[in-house]
Structure 1
Amino acid sequence: MVDPSTYRPAPGAIPTSPGVYKFRDAHGRVIYVGKAKSLRPRLSSYFQDVAGLHPRTATMVTTAASVEWTVVATEVEALQLEYSWIKEFDPRFNVKYRDDKSYPELAVTLNEEYPRVQVMRGAHKKGVRYFGPYGHAWAIRETVDLLLRVFPVRTCSNGVFKRARQVGRPCLLGYIGKCAAPCVGKVSADEHRELAEDFCDFMAGRTGNYLRRLEDQMREAAAEMEYERAARLRDDIGALKRAMEKNAIVLADATDADLLAVAEDELEAAVQIFHVRGGRVRGQRGWVTDKVEDVDTAGLVEHALQQLYGGAAAEERNESVPREVLVPALPEPLAPVREWLSGLRGSQVDLRIPQRGDKKDLMATVQRNAQQALALHKTKRASDLTTRSRALQEIADALELDSVPLRIECYDISHLQGEDVVASMVVFEDGLARKSEYRRFQIRGFEGQDDVRSMHEVISRRFRRYLQEREQTGEWAVPEADDPVTAEPITADAVTADPVTAVGARDEDGRPKRFAYPPQLLVVDGGQPQVAAAKRALEELGIDDVALCGLAKRLEEVWLPGEDDPVVLPRSSEGLYLLQRVRDEAHRFAISYQRNKRSKRLTAGELDSVPGLGETRRRALLKHFGSLKKLRAATVDEICAVPGIGRRTAETVAAALSSRTPAAPAVNTATGEIIEDRPDQAAEPVAAASQTAPSQETP
């Protein structure tokens, strides 16, 4: 525990301008980021008597070892900088919303020659039009199934589309009229794109004009006694109206708005967001958070707005930020947030609290959803918080640690009969996996089934890097009280996939890579030999403040360095269960990396015997052409187009591949069709190899 007075800035040293400040711990890690209209009174409030602070604020200031700030011109700039730093540093004491599930969205791939309608999750891609998010994927599929009658856009995968073009026959949807069948030329690419754009217009809420146009066409067909065409248009209108009914009309004035509600208690908060477009609820999202900082409802709303709109890509912001944002409490001060949202949208955004009418009634519905989400979250998570705390305490008691190990690192070695030796490092903080901190290692110095030597090398490399970064940054020295830091400080970024290649490396702006944060507990997968190797590596580097243990698989025994007998935790122990989870995650991460390396090696195997072709140029060829099949069919001039490949080498490659008989193509025994040699199938032989000899794969 640190006394805040030891790093309190000198009186008068803090400016009164708007700005953003960061608290760092003793290792230099950013633990809290905040903004202020005036930095001096805000920062001074943290250095009053600790007993008078909110408990979470008191924990933060006693964990911190330094404070620094950056002055900006306006509050809007402070808001933007605060959000970007929270995303970059992921401070443990800031509000972090966790999406309670991955929400599906309806996507139209306008970036393709023949746009496709599909359900997508995850990050948005450039050139793809998104609608949603929706609560359930089946709701999207029902809506799309109704709309395909009127907008027969393709929904098939690229593989099915390519196969249909090759055989000259459309799929079932093409025969029943729910696809325009561009794969066989029934419509041109331009006609199909027009269908996709009409589909997007309809989903965006521009339904009135399209329905009126269909009704006019139906009446014209009836007047001309084209009754079959009129009946088809009537059915199309009915399908569109049924699709519109699936999103109930809640606002009669075709409003575009986002409604945000917050339900909270002293420890946690839940946020629910309804996306209303064209007067209809088009999507719903929910977030939950632990209130690790002292923040009121208005502060939660501000953080939620940053989370909701701050991460949108530039080309998506006009659509992601609606004309109205309805909230239960207004951020204080309001003007910078409103100006920031208006800048994202490119026009005025109305941020307000609904007072009456349909919008207030809908906000009450959103609030009820938030309360229900919080109740469900607490029911599911109450035992988890208690269990994680008990597990960490049991580990500390069993290993006789001074404090609970809030950061645990685990290492595992993986190889296949001594080849492609790799290692993994996984990180758990507060009992939860922190995947952004995971690292992978290549064991390059030797090959063979020597897990002990490999473990010694990995631990040495990891902590050698720790010592180097600590030396580069001056052990994150705390600035003197009369010399506050006002410029952009050194930050910590992710290290490369193989840390040995990045020893002492820095980013372009001179900031060190992130490897300088040590664990409280180091776990190795193995027994006495592996633990002894790790202990020897730490002693050689002079590191004596990191606890060490090993977890042996056979009897799940915990081995400590220098002990002849293991520590045996009860099978029902939560501490043992947490150690098993950490060990299994390290094993999974190491196995996946080893299989990936093996897959690349086997894929390039046919090029190994080509004279004058090294590993770098083999990879360049495979990356350029995508598969050996395409490389085999390429001409000498096409091979010369690959960077680093000269004509003589290209002629050698072409001659070597043409002299070999290609392997017989795989055949689908159910359909008799030939399975293509696609790049995304390159890992299949590896999977088969791993199934034939699982016992040879050493974790």
Structure 2
Amino acid sequence: MADPMTYRPRPGEIPTEPGVYRFRDQHRRVIYVGKAKNLRARLANYFQDVAALHPRTATMVTTAASVEWTVVGTEVEALALEYSWIKEYDPRFNVKYRDDKSYPYLAVTMGETIPRAQVMRGAKRAGTRYFGPFAHAWAIRETLDLLLRVFPVRTCSAGVYRRAEQSGRPCLLGYIDKCAAPCVGRISPEDHRALAEDFCSFMAGDTAKHVRRLTKEMSAAAEAMEYERAAALRDDIAALERATEKNAVVLQDGTDADVFALAGDDLEAAVQVFHVRGGRIRGQRGWVVEKVEDVTDAGLVEHLLQQVYGVVDDEAGEALVPREVLVPVLPDNVDQVRAWLSGLRGAAVDVRVPQRGDKKALAQTVLRNAEHALALHRTRRAGDLTTRSLALREIQEALGLDEAPLRIECYDVSTTQGTHQVASMVVFEDGLARKSEYRHFTIRGPEGEGAADDTAAMHEVIRRRFSRYVAERTADPEVLQQVGIDVAELAAEAEVAPEPDKKRFAYPPNLVVVDGGPPQVAAAARALAELGIDDVALCGLAKRLEEVWLPGEPYPVILERSSEGLYLLQRVRDEAHRFAISHHRKRRGKAMTVSVLDGVPGLGPTRQARLLKHFGSVKRLRAASAEEIAAVPGMGARTAAQVVAALAPAAPAERGAAEADGAASGGGPASSPGMLGA
């Protein structure tokens, strides 16, 4: 942690003009960008007593190692430069805006020779007009389908367009008159561009002009007794009206405004905006804001306007920056913000707080949407610290633990009538799944033929997992021998699947959860007792009544059905079940290509490949002694004996097939361990 006084500039070195400043850490990464109308006065606020600073500001200045600044001419220039630097450096201590979803837009690629209308997501592209955002892509496609009969612009991809150009035949939309078919010359590129301009004009809110034009043409066609054309124009007018009706009228006709609202607390906020064009809501958008810096609502609104209007395409500038921007709180330097937005739009932009009337009512509606979005975000957010803390605290109290179970491991056994027995271990840390720590086990059993039942399988899995932990915790062979751990076997297994720079089971869980009732809990408790482990809590979760069982207790612990603690235990148990089932199905599927070595406990594909590479064929492997097999890297004495036992009683037909395999290989390495003896 750095002392801000070690890099504080001398007061006389800092100019008093407007500018933008950057704090950098010891690695020269920009961690915060800010602007000021007086750089000297603003930076002086950061270099006061750290204890007097806001906690987030104190964290920032103690993380930083240097500060630098750039002088600009006006506060408006500072506003634009601040935004561009925030976009460029993405500083960790600036306000973070995250879209609560990826919003689709209706885009018209006016930068192309033949403009195309399509659904687009992601970053905006130069030369493209955007309309929206919309809540759903299907809403765009439905609207586009209605408008294509009036404005039959191109919607096909570049590949489809080129193929139609080469073949001289339009696509289906060209045949049903929903595309003007510029690909085959039915319309010139200039006329098609004019058609696309009319389409954009309609989408931008100038709907009445096009309806009046079509109505006039329909009347003229009727007077000329061109009734079929008049009927087609009548249907076109109806299509435009249906497309227009999809957007509710909320303000007087001709109103272009963006209405913002925010709801939140000291840590995060939800922001919503309604885009109103021509008095109708044309789109809605929302963000979740992480307040990683000390910022007021006024500052938040300023950052929000930078986020929304910072990147404006020349083609779409008027559509993105409306005449009015209605906000819940005025920014501190509202005059500079107005000037900046007016410069982007090329005309005056009014930034204000609605006080009465329809606009005030609409702002209240947007605020309610922001409040609902924040509530939904907190409900859905798996990383919600409050909910996770509550769940862990409820588990701690229910099970009588000394501390909250920050690391929970859950085990489940999966089998089909005793075959292909496997088990899973899933890990939740701080209430969140940690998938990199997941493990699965193949059940061996005492004779290498699997466990007798689920309780025996659970005992084996718990013992194997914590044998690994005990072996990592102590290297004393006598201690390991006292608890019955086969050091050679553990070393051999570790050599088969090494994981550099990472221990498999580096530290124990606070709580072990097994899927099952008293029998499974008793088996797991017995395995822990055999290894001398008494600092790990244990419980079982029975599926039928969701009862929590503790070792040696005659009655279960009952958690409330609505409790966060029970919900977390259920999620952990269900994840273990899913992981076990997926591994079991994978093993069962591989049974179609069984090798004569597949039944050897602990001998997976990696070890099989090593054996074949060393001996060259199954025939030579079958002739080898247990000592020769144990000499292969990754093989232990017990596994070598099991390989010999598995190969010794081979049936004559199987032996003949293996010998044929060896002869065909010519003494070289086998190509696939999964086909041994097949």
Secondary structure at the counterpart of residue 22 of structure 2: strand
1:218-237 aligned within 5 A? 218-237=218-237
Letter in 2 for 1:215: T
1:181-220 aligned within 5 A? 181-220=181-220
Letter in 2 for 1:255: T
1:364 matched residue in structure 2:
364
Taking the aligned partners of 1:85 and 1:211, their CA distance within structure 2 comes to 45
| 2:261–2:366 CA contact under 8 A, matched in 1 | yes
Secondary structure at the counterpart of residue 229 of structure 1: helix
2:60 matched residue in structure 1:
60
2:30 matched residue in structure 1:
30
1:58–1:139 CA distance, 2 compared to 1 (3 A): same
1:261 matched residue in structure 2:
261
Residues 436-469 of structure 1: per-residue CA shift (max 9 Å, x gap): xxxxxxxxxxxxxxxxxxxxxxxxxxxxxxxxxx
| 2:221–2:227 CA contact under 8 A, matched in 1 | yes
Taking the aligned partners of 1:572 and 1:347, their CA distance within structure 2 comes to 65
* Alignment of 1:567 onto 2:527: no
Taking the aligned partners of 1:187 and 1:16, their CA distance within structure 2 comes to 61
| 1:309–1:317 CA contact under 8 A, matched in 2 | no
1:128–1:68 CA distance, 2 compared to 1 (3 A): closer
1:604-623 aligned within 5 A? none
Letter in 2 for 1:287: W
Residues 528-574 of structure 1: per-residue CA shift (max 9 Å, x gap): xxxxxxxxxxxxxxxxxxxxxxxx9999875449x9x9737769999
Taking the aligned partners of 1:61 and 1:276, their CA distance within structure 2 comes to 41
Letter in 2 for 1:157: S
**1:264 CA drift (Å):** 1.6
Deviates further, 227-236 or 160-169: 160-169
* Alignment of 1:164 onto 2:164: yes
| 1:153–1:195 CA contact under 8 A, matched in 2 | yes
1:291–1:171 CA distance, 2 compared to 1 (3 A): same
Deviates further, 3-12 or 98-107: 3-12
Letter in 1 for 2:506: V
1:365–1:14 CA distance, 2 compared to 1 (3 A): same
TM-score in terms of structure 2 length: 0.57
**1:196 CA drift (Å):** 2.0
**Structure with higher RCO (Cα < 8 A, 6+ apart):** 1
Residues 359-397 of structure 1: per-residue CA shift (max 9 Å, x gap): 1111111111211222222223352668999xxxxxxxx
2:146 matched residue in structure 1:
146
1:677 matched residue in structure 2:
none
Secondary structure at the counterpart of residue 383 of structure 2: helix
* Alignment of 1:332 onto 2:332: yes
Letter in 1 for 2:332: E
1:9 matched residue in structure 2:
9
| 2:127–2:313 CA contact under 8 A, matched in 1 | no
1:183-582 aligned within 5 A? 183-381=183-381, 383=383, 559-560=500-501, 567=506
| 2:218–2:229 CA contact under 8 A, matched in 1 | yes
1:111–1:559 CA distance, 2 compared to 1 (3 A): closer
1:265–1:140 CA distance, 2 compared to 1 (3 A): same
**1:139 CA drift (Å):** 0.7
Taking the aligned partners of 1:310 and 1:172, their CA distance within structure 2 comes to 40
Taking the aligned partners of 2:386 and 2:363, their CA distance within structure 1 comes to 34
TM-score in terms of structure 1 length: 0.55
1:112–1:339 CA distance, 2 compared to 1 (3 A): closer
**1:224 CA drift (Å):** 2.7
**1:251 CA drift (Å):** 1.4
Secondary structure at the counterpart of residue 202 of structure 2: helix
**1:276 CA drift (Å):** 1.5
Letter in 1 for 2:21: Y
Taking the aligned partners of 1:236 and 1:298, their CA distance within structure 2 comes to 47
Residues 498-557 of structure 1: per-residue CA shift (max 9 Å, x gap): xxxxxxxxxxxxxxxxxxxxxxxxxxxxxxxxxxxxxxxxxxxxxxxxxxxxxx999987
1:636 matched residue in structure 2:
none
Residues 332-379 of structure 1: per-residue CA shift (max 9 Å, x gap): 122111111111112211111111111111111111121122222222
Uncovered stretches (5+) of structure 1, i.e. residues with no partner: 390-430, 433-551, 578-692
1:121 matched residue in structure 2:
121
| 1:250–1:280 CA contact under 8 A, matched in 2 | yes
Secondary structure at the counterpart of residue 281 of structure 2: strand
| 1:272–1:367 CA contact under 8 A, matched in 2 | yes
* Alignment of 1:80 onto 2:73: no
| 1:558–1:566 CA contact under 8 A, matched in 2 | no
1:191–1:45 CA distance, 2 compared to 1 (3 A): closer
Taking the aligned partners of 1:11 and 1:155, their CA distance within structure 2 comes to 61
**1:26 CA drift (Å):** 2.2
Letter in 1 for 2:171: C
Letter in 2 for 1:271: V
Secondary structure at the counterpart of residue 288 of structure 1: strand
2:415 matched residue in structure 1:
none
1:665 matched residue in structure 2:
none
Taking the aligned partners of 2:70 and 2:327, their CA distance within structure 1 comes to 30
**1:12 CA drift (Å):** 4.2
1:567–1:341 CA distance, 2 compared to 1 (3 A): same
| 1:16–1:38 CA contact under 8 A, matched in 2 | yes
Secondary structure at the counterpart of residue 201 of structure 1: helix
Letter in 2 for 1:172: L
Letter in 2 for 1:219: S
2:539 matched residue in structure 1:
none
| 2:302–2:331 CA contact under 8 A, matched in 1 | yes
Secondary structure at the counterpart of residue 250 of structure 1: coil
| 2:127–2:314 CA contact under 8 A, matched in 1 | no
Letter in 2 for 1:196: A
| 1:20–1:82 CA contact under 8 A, matched in 2 | yes
Letter in 2 for 1:210: H
**1:240 CA drift (Å):** 0.5
Residues 456-483 of structure 1: per-residue CA shift (max 9 Å, x gap): xxxxxxxxxxxxxxxxxxxxxxxxxxxx
Uncovered stretches (5+) of structure 2, i.e. residues with no partner: 390-431, 434-492, 514-567, 573-671
2:425 matched residue in structure 1:
none
Secondary structure at the counterpart of residue 251 of structure 1: coil
Taking the aligned partners of 2:279 and 2:169, their CA distance within structure 1 comes to 42
Residues 388-411 of structure 1: per-residue CA shift (max 9 Å, x gap): 99xxxxxxxxxxxxxxxxxxxxxx
**1:69 CA drift (Å):** 2.3
Secondary structure at the counterpart of residue 325 of structure 1: strand
Secondary structure at the counterpart of residue 143 of structure 1: helix
**1:32 CA drift (Å):** 1.2
* Aligned pairs, number: 417
Taking the aligned partners of 1:299 and 1:226, their CA distance within structure 2 comes to 62
| 2:127–2:315 CA contact under 8 A, matched in 1 | no
Q: CA RMSD in A?
A: 3.3
**1:217 CA drift (Å):** 1.7
| 1:560–1:567 CA contact under 8 A, matched in 2 | no
**1:150 CA drift (Å):** 1.3
**1:302 CA drift (Å):** 0.3
